[in-house]
A and B are shown apart, each in its own frame.
Chain A
């Protein structure tokens, strides 16, 4: 098991190396540069050159790349050209926000998706089944930003049930030792702040969780439909076991195997969905920060953030594979 984990983690090295080269070359091939973005349309050639010299952008790309890599291995990604703060500091601020949002989105998607998929399968062909199938088709088809706008317009602007933007109400005094606002409220004993953070999370989490929800419903339903016809479920019935034992031990344990894989894949993809969701809800997380970095050609931020996200994607998938091994003895690695 340990060997397996180590081997997979070692794989990170070539992945990150290849990705960093691609990223580096691609960013520099984009029209316009950070100096241009910083100084605006009417920048003079000299001022652009001065800025470029300041950030070392006048050197050959491989020299720049070498400097970047030797700093990055020490977790130094340079400074943001826009905020002028260290990229790592920006990461520590924005990653907890997006993690909190992603976790909320997954709780929403899993908490509703698995039961709904299960009951749709058990009531195969019923109105509940038809509704969940067509609902899940709709769920993957609706663009995230469109859904986000609709949710915001209806439930925040019109009905006023939820705040329209941000992560917290500035009128509430709160400390943020971890950067996870819900958790911060709990550890500092400020439950009002926790509740406020939750209310700020609801709509963005629904918008971000909609696609994973739709996919989890469909996979769970299909998987349960398969498993209930398996011979071992018939064996369990022949033993006269109670229905809840059969459901939990014999149907769900097997039916959830493919669902776990899908959840892992979706969890990795949440970052791209977060760009749109966070922008709509002015949610101060990774997604919004990257979106701004793109329009500002903020090389240091893009390089650092995208590499860290890629590394996390690999780690999330590793976690999924490990947990898969824990629930399926056939793939258990020794």
Chain B
């Protein structure tokens, strides 16, 4: 790994939602990570772990009401969290772009695909008219949409889910952003299409040199794509490591559980999967101990005494009092 300056430096990010009834929700709680230029970083965790909220905070797209955001999000030495709103608008879509989970609802149903692509080019690159259309057609063909000039005139409902996600990727990459955030870009798609989209993203970030933050709950995707992985649980990072280290040697019992629940191509046919027992709603508040403790096979009494710290080990960060031992085999 090179030691270039990070492109994105998220420091101690926290996001709380105030609710009219009930306690405030600590959706993201002291999350720190960096993304270097061209690097692909995975953000992994079950539903509700705060992955989307983290990415929306980076993009400045959280609702303004009832939300408190703390910490810093440094991009090019600017703190995105304190940047004026119009400066942030200039950065979004040009330097940082995002692809969302559901391609069915992420495109405007009453505006032709072409307009939805060219509007980014008009906004950030001042391209107009024929030039913009030509560039848009070029972008569509680059993401593997056949017959792009015809597609430009069509409406979202005339495209399949996979094609729509390709179109959304084209929009995101229109201005050659230096950072692309993809929030579960394949969850809503068929399995065969999923693989194609991941392959496409991989190719595109390699070609353009863009850094990628890949948000997913699928470790299979991470394995084929990411340089570094951060595992989140209930709003906090519980383990971070390079992809190799993490897969070869998961230390957090939650990471171990996630790995055990992934169907492996090299496993013998019919080998059992091991889902993590319990559900992500079964959490402890971090102030009172490890949030994963109620589901953890390695739980100690000390785990529920107070929040475990995020320790920095060689090549790894780990938030666990009783990690899996360094040589322990992942149950497979």
Contacts and interface: CB of A to CB of B under 8 A. Distances in A.
Nearest to A233: B108
Interface in B283-329: none
Interface bracket on A: 20 to 34
Contacts, number: 81
Interface stretch (B28-36, B93-101, B137-145, B274-282): B93-101
A232 B109 CA distance: 8
B93 A240 contact: yes
Contacts of A330: 109-110, 155, 157
A334 to B, nearest CB: 12
Interface in B171-188: 171-172
B108 A232 contact: yes
Interface in A198-255: 230-232, 234-242, 245, 249-250, 253-254
Nearest to B59: A238
Interface string A83-125: 0000000000000000000000000000000000000000000
Nearest to B105: A231
A328 B89 CA distance: 29
A329 B115 CA distance: 14
Given A235-B100, A239-B123, A250 B92 contact: no
A238 B94 CA distance: 10
Contacts of B119: 239, 241, 245, 249
B92 A237 contact: yes
Contact of A238 (B98, B109, B111): B98
A327 interface: yes
A257 to B, nearest CB: 8
B110 A254 contact: yes
Interface bracket on B: 20 to 34
A231 B100 contact: yes
A329 B123 contact: no
A122 to B, nearest CB: 12
A240 B89 contact: yes
A248 B102 CA distance: 23
B124 interface: yes
Given A245-B123, A249-B108, A234 B100 contact: yes
Nearest to A232: B108
B168 A235 contact: yes
15 contacts: A232-B105, A234-B100, A235-B108, A235-B168, A238-B61, A238-B93, A238-B97, A239-B97, A239-B119, A240-B91, A240-B120, A240-B124, A242-B123, A250-B108, A330-B110
Given A237-B61, A241-B123, A330-B155, 6 more contacts: A232-B109, A235-B106, A239-B93, A245-B119, A249-B108, A327-B110
Interface of A: 230-232, 234-242, 245, 249-250, 253-254, 257, 327-330
